[in-house]
Chain A
Amino acid sequence: QLQLQESGPGLVKPSETLSLTCTVSGGSISSSSYYWGWIRQPPGKGLQWIGSFYYSGSTYYNPSLKSRVTISVDTSKNQFSLNLSSVTAADTAVYYCARLVGYCSSGTCYPNAFDIWGQGTMVTVSS
Chain B
Amino acid sequence: QSALTQPASVSGSPGQSITISCTGTSSDVGSYNLVSWYQQHPGKAPKLMIYEVSKRPSGVSNRFSGSKSGNTASLTISGLQAEDEADYYCCSYAGSSIFVFGGGTKLTVL
Contact = CB atoms under 8 A, between A and B. Distances in A.
B24 interface: no
B72 to A, nearest CB: 18
Interface in A72-127: 96, 101, 103, 110-115, 117-120
Chain A contact patch, size range = 20 to 34
Nearest to B45: A117
A50 B1 CA distance: 12
Interface string B87-110: 001010100111111111000000
B45 A60 contact: no
Contacts of A96: 45-46
Interface in B45-90: 45-48, 51-52, 57, 89
Given A60-B98, A113-B91, A114-B38, A46 B3 contact: yes
Nearest to B32: A110
B28 to A, nearest CB: 12
Contacts of A35: 97
B53 to A, nearest CB: 10
A52 interface: yes
Contact of A113 (B45, B48, B100, B102): B48
B36 interface: yes
A46 B99 contact: no
Contacts, number: 72
Contacts of A110: 32, 34, 93, 97
Interface of A: 35, 37, 39, 45-49, 52, 54, 58, 60, 62-64, 96, 101, 103, 110-115, 117-120
26 contacts: A37-B99, A39-B101, A45-B104, A46-B89, A46-B101, A46-B103, A46-B104, A47-B46, A47-B89, A49-B98, A49-B101, A60-B98, A62-B1, A62-B98, A64-B1, A96-B46, A110-B93, A112-B34, A113-B36, A113-B48, A113-B51, A113-B91, A114-B46, A115-B51, A117-B45, A118-B45
